[in-house]
Amino acid sequence: MIEERINELGYELKEAPKPLASYIPVTTTGNLVFTAGQVPVSSGKLLYEGKLGKDLSDDEGKKAAELCAVNCLNVIKSEIENLDKIDKIVKVTVFVNSADGYTDQPKIANGASDFLVKVFGESGKHVRSAVGVNELPINAPVEVEMIVAVK
Amino acid sequence: MIEERINELGYELKEAPKPLASYIPVTTTGNLVFTAGQVPVSSGKLLYEGKLGKDLSDDEGKKAAELCAVNCLNVIKSEIENLDKIDKIVKVTVFVNSADGYTDQPKIANGASDFLVKVFGESGKHVRSAVGVNELPINAPVEVEMIVAVK
Amino acid sequence: MIEERINELGYELKEAPKPLASYIPVTTTGNLVFTAGQVPVSSGKLLYEGKLGKDLSDDEGKKAAELCAVNCLNVIKSEIENLDKIDKIVKVTVFVNSADGYTDQPKIANGASDFLVKVFGESGKHVRSAVGVNELPINAPVEVEMIVAVK
């Protein structure tokens, strides 16, 4: 059901993106599933690059954040097999690669948050921190990590 | 009891500050309550603005961090109704909007940490990360998120 | 057993490093142990200083991240007495003090991640976020925080 909604929104869950380094993309403890920080990569390619307020428009930034959220769900699926097992999205942290003077991090983070609510409805509502940072791995514009609770 | 101590310290808990975007300010999973990142807003106005090491004194930054902590407690109260239900403050993360060369993030974060210990005593003691960032939403000087355990 | 492996890798667990401010270095809730953010301090001295991409080589940055991970284990030992009680490393967050244009945060974070896998094997595998920041406390090059699950 959940995966169908993701498909309707134009994304297909495929093989989880490979981590950039020696860690794992997802892990479970108790009923909590934690993801590694995800960047807007698709089929191994970084689809968005650079800093908000300089290299990308806010709309591109939002799409990048949305793709990070999709990648989080991708890796969660690889862990729990079926996204219908998600009880709720608990927490989303959004790091926004920000040019000096750029303070619209919440707008960018909404790309991830709005997508989660479109997919999960009420149980997609989550707490969130959105912060600016001066650099991100491989010059990604956004990095998103997630904690979800499973049934 | 806890709320009285907050009042004695000069703050009144009121309506939880509205999130800046499409997420919720607080959520519970198991016995853990997570807050969204809080900025030093009161009655809808940002009371402190800009970067530490440039636009604000350290004392102003500490007061800003304290207000963020109050806002965290505000939203936690909206979730659990009575702050006496808090078993302990588990974790506080403090993002400090930092001018280049500013490295006193722990001093600013103490504004939040000291306040929590004044309010909760021993059970207000928490682990903490304080980091500098180059930008924060709406040019806030500090953003604080919290995890607490409830009884 | 675990502590012997740490010794074989050239580190000795000693008195937990003092926090830089009014918080505690480690706390437990349920079966989760959270550490405060740790910087590459040994015997009270910051062993590495400055920004990646400017003041330190990547190899020095990796050693600094490794030392942060050792310090996390140090404070966890002070909480649970014996590191053999660790069920698994759940999550590691690595903040990398980054000069403008530096985007190799994952390489630096590997200093911590690789060390944890050397020490704990399969149960050392964790999710991770690595982000760049423009400043860190006392001009540390890296700050690492950890969540572990205990048996």
Digit-coded pLDDT (tens) for A89-109 = 999 999 999 999 999 999 999
* Within a domain: A68: yes
Within 4-63 of B, beta carbons closer than 8 Å to C belong to 30-32
How close, in Å, is residue B77 to chain A by CA atoms? 15
| A24, A137, A145 ranked by CB distance to C126: nearest | A24
% pLDDT > 90, chain B:
90
- pLDDT-based confidence at residue B19 (cuts at 50, 70, 90): low
C34, C135, C136: residue with CB nearest B127:
C34
**Digit-coded pLDDT (tens) for C55-72:** 999 999 999 999 999 999
Query: Taking CB atoms and an 8 Å limit, are C135 and B100 in contact across chains?
Result: yes
pLDDT for residue C147? 98
C120 pLDDT higher than 80:
yes
Contact between A134 and C129 using a beta-carbon 8 Å cutoff: no
pLDDT of C20: 58
E strand map for B62-112: 86-97
State the residue range of the domain holding C25. Answer: 2-150
The reply to whether A103 falls in a domain is: yes
| DSSP letters for C48-85 | S-S-BTTTB-HHHHHHHHHHHHHHHHHHHHHHHS-GGG
The rounded mean pLDDT for chain C is 94
| Contact (CB<8Å) C95/B131 | yes
> Within a domain: residue A27?
no
Report the domain count for chain B. 1
The answer to whether the CB atoms of B135 and A30 lie below 8 A apart is no
Going by their DSSP bridges, the two strands B86-97 and B127-133 should be labelled as: parallel
Report the alpha-carbon distance of residue A104 to residue A111 in Å, rounded: 12
pLDDT over threshold 80, residue A5: yes
Q: Which residues contact B7 (CB under 8 A, 6 or more apart)?
A: none
Average pLDDT over residues C20-27: 83
**CB < 8 Å to B23, chain A:** 92, 109, 113, 125-128
Size of interface A-C (CB pairs under 8 A): 90
The answer to whether the Cβ–Cβ distance between A127 and B25 falls below 8 Å is yes
CA distance A65 to chain B (A): 14
Q: Give ipTM to 2 decimals.
A: 0.95
| CATH code, C97 | 3.30.1330.40
Single pTM value for the model: 0.96
Greatest Cα pair distance in chain C = 42
Record the tokens describing residue B11, joined without a space: 């703050």
Task: Report how many Cβ contacts below 8 Å link chain A to chain B.
Answer: 90
User: Hey, how many other C-beta atoms are within 10 angstroms of the C-beta on C84?
Assistant: 12
Tokens encoding C37:
């953010």
For A74, other C-beta atoms within 10 Å of its C-beta total 23
